[in-house]
A and B are shown apart, each in its own frame.
Chain A
Amino acid sequence: MFSKTLPVAAAALVWSGLCASGQGLKIDFPKDSPVSPLTTDVSPPTATARGGANLIEVNTALSLRNSSQKRIRSMTLMVSAQDAAGKGSVSVPTLDAGPGETFSIHIDTRLVRPLTAGSPVVEVSLDGVLFDDLSFYGPDMLHSQRNMIMWELEAQRDRKYFKSLLASRGAEGLRKEMLSSLARQADSSQRGVQMVRGRATNIDAEREAQFAFLDIPESPVEVSGGVARIGASLAGAPRFEVRNRSGRAVQHLEIAWIVKDQQGREFLAASMPADMKLAPNQSSPVAQDAALRFDRPISIQSMSGFVSSVEFADGSQWIPSRSAMDQPGLRQVAAPSPEEQRLSQIYAKKGIQALIDELKRF
């Protein structure tokens, strides 16, 4: 036993030394990156031996400068550990950093690794930067470009909506809309949920339930005939049929999966992305080998869904309009955009005039 614990303890001591000297954290940005770190003396990670595991905590704020000539709308950093499978990311979707301006991103990551697995170096690298003209820079290892374009389209849609509301109904109309948005956000239900891939056939399902898909007439893709296996606090193996009713080829789509519990509360349980080549008017079945497990006991009464985004073959995207999102049954469960949450927070914290000033910025 002593012969096993000695190398482990030695490794932990060496790792603690590395962390103390800042060598446990590696910030890796390409030389031609449009953003550059301002500070190099970032807080080193801390390592703590906990039982048979090593807890590595990274808690630092990166100060970055836009070194490009375009305005940055969003950015994603990838967090990874050497010798560790899986990756994490930290994204800021509601940026508006002009050339030469600075901004900061807070990274708070915990890694728990078996002591015998050694002590990995935590690496923070750039995954992507999205500019205001929707151009993109970065390796896109996490396929973050798609999400960042969707966030920007949602931001443009919502800013346009709030601006038109301000123009047509004045500050009082904007105030009422903000109060309504804050109330929806406060009333929205959330459930802790876990997702397991490749195990859907093993779930202890009791029955098969049908999806009731909400049709958005303007959606380029129609979805129908959906079923999933559900059990006690479990749902999995969703499958459905999609049809491209647009005139353009589709390569990716996402469907929001909504669950209603025994108390009649609806909440967004998961998103179901699907990569496919779908020509105009073509239909295709989609089946996913994944299972959801809720962290609290829940009896699933019914399920519904709607198409939340579509990516065409040329990389452009479709998202539902504000009017489409206002239809009954969708407004309460559809997630507000990050930009709507940012604007409503500005209103809640600083008042209507600060919000109007913010809307006038761009």
Chain B
Amino acid sequence: MKRHVMETELALYAAGDLPVWRSALVRLRVRLHVRRCRECHGLLEALRTDRQELRRSADDMPANVDWDQLAAEMTANIRVGLAAGECVTPRERKVAAMSWRPVAIAAGLVVLLAGAWWLNIPRTDTEAIGRAIRDMATGGHISAPQEERGPVVGASSAGVVLVENGGRMGIDQGGLEPVMYSVSTQGSASARYVDQDTGQVTITATYVQ
């Protein structure tokens, strides 16, 4: 059974473009095969017809065309089209990738600040700040601002405190919680402590002068 010539070799043969270093041997083999093979001869004739057709079409193009300028204009038009397309296409929301490191650093800072607060800020101060925040949240219904301008005495589970002239005096019993506390309308606050071992009672008080 005879073997057909490869179609690429046949196309190169039809255009006369077979490589020089292969041309003699291949051209001879292709020529001999085409003479004997009607199928390949027909394909060769079709390729030659297409080639002639393309040449005629090229002859119809305008004369003196600057192909480099034409290519540059086409490239520019393509880029303009792509940019316009981005403008009218809905933009996809970019989801920022959350790394664990910033989260860990922020959590560590929070723990550090909370620890520093707990160790250094007296409970009465913390309560006062909490009250101030609650006051802001409730629109000032709990504490009238005018009252803060005068001396204030207070009694709570944290002991007694006097706030006056930008200073503060607090008295307690070394972390013990009072069993009772109260204020007097004459300007004093008192707290009562009971020693758990001896039963001795101690009463602390602050006074507005």
Contacts and interface: CB of A to CB of B under 8 A. Distances in A.
Interface of A: 50, 55, 59, 79, 81, 84-95, 105-114, 117, 142, 185, 188, 190, 192-199, 202-204, 231-234, 238, 257, 268-273, 288, 290-293, 295, 297, 335, 338-339, 341-343, 345-346, 349
Contacts of B166: 113-114, 117
Interface in B150-209: 150-158, 160, 162, 164-174, 179-187, 189, 192, 194-197, 199-209
B206 A270 contact: no
A193 B182 contact: yes
B59 interface: no
11 contacts: A59-B174, A86-B164, A87-B206, A112-B169, A113-B167, A117-B166, A185-B179, A238-B185, A270-B185, A292-B185, A293-B143
Interface residues of B, number: 63
B209 A85 contact: yes
B170 A341 contact: no
Given A85-B151, A86-B164, A112-B170, 15 more contacts: A89-B207, A94-B199, A108-B172, A110-B171, A111-B167, A192-B127, A192-B154, A197-B151, A202-B144, A231-B141, A233-B142, A257-B185, A269-B182, A270-B183, A338-B192
Contacts of A339: 201
A195 B152 contact: yes
A197 B144 contact: no
Nearest to A272: B185
A108 B171 contact: yes
B127 to A, nearest CB: 7
Q: Which residue of B122, B184, B189, B201 has the most chain A CB atoms within 10 A of its CB atom?
A: B201
Contacts of A270: 182-185
Given A197-B150, A293-B143, A338 B209 contact: no
B194 A192 contact: no
Contacts of B153: 194-195
Interface in B14-40: none
B147 interface: yes
B131 interface: yes
B120 interface: yes
A349 B158 CA distance: 24
B61 to A, nearest CB: 82
B146 A88 contact: no
Contacts of A269: 182-183
Nearest to A342: B199
B154 A110 contact: no
Contact of A114 (B142, B151, B167, B208): B167
Interface of B: 120-122, 125, 127, 131, 138, 140-144, 146-147, 149-158, 160, 162, 164-174, 179-187, 189, 192, 194-197, 199-209
A94 B149 CA distance: 37
A92 B204 contact: no
Contacts of A291: 147
Nearest to A155: B201
A79 B171 contact: yes
Contacts of B140: 204
A113 B186 CA distance: 24
A190 B202 contact: no
A339 B122 CA distance: 31
Contacts of B181: 190, 192
Q: Which residue of A89, A109, A195, A203 has the most chain B CB atoms within 10 A of its CB atom?
A: A195
A192 B157 contact: yes
Given A111-B167, A195-B153, A195-B187, A203 B194 contact: no
A341 B201 contact: yes
B200 to A, nearest CB: 6
B186 A273 contact: yes
Contact of B141 (A50, A89, A233): A233
A230 B153 CA distance: 19
Closest 6 CB pairs of A and B: A192-B156, A345-B199, A290-B185, A194-B154, A195-B183, A112-B168
A6 B156 CA distance: 38
A273 B207 contact: no
Contact of B207 (A86, A202, A293): A86
B142 A89 contact: no
A273 B182 CA distance: 13
A204 B205 contact: no
B209 A93 contact: no
A35 to B, nearest CB: 16
Contacts of A349: 196-197, 199
A252 to B, nearest CB: 10
A81 B154 CA distance: 19
Contacts of A59: 174
Contacts of B183: 193-195, 269-271, 292
A94 B201 contact: yes
A93 B151 contact: no
A3 B162 CA distance: 32
Contacts of A272: 184-185
Contact of B185 (A112, A288, A293): A288
A308 B151 CA distance: 26
Contacts of A107: 171
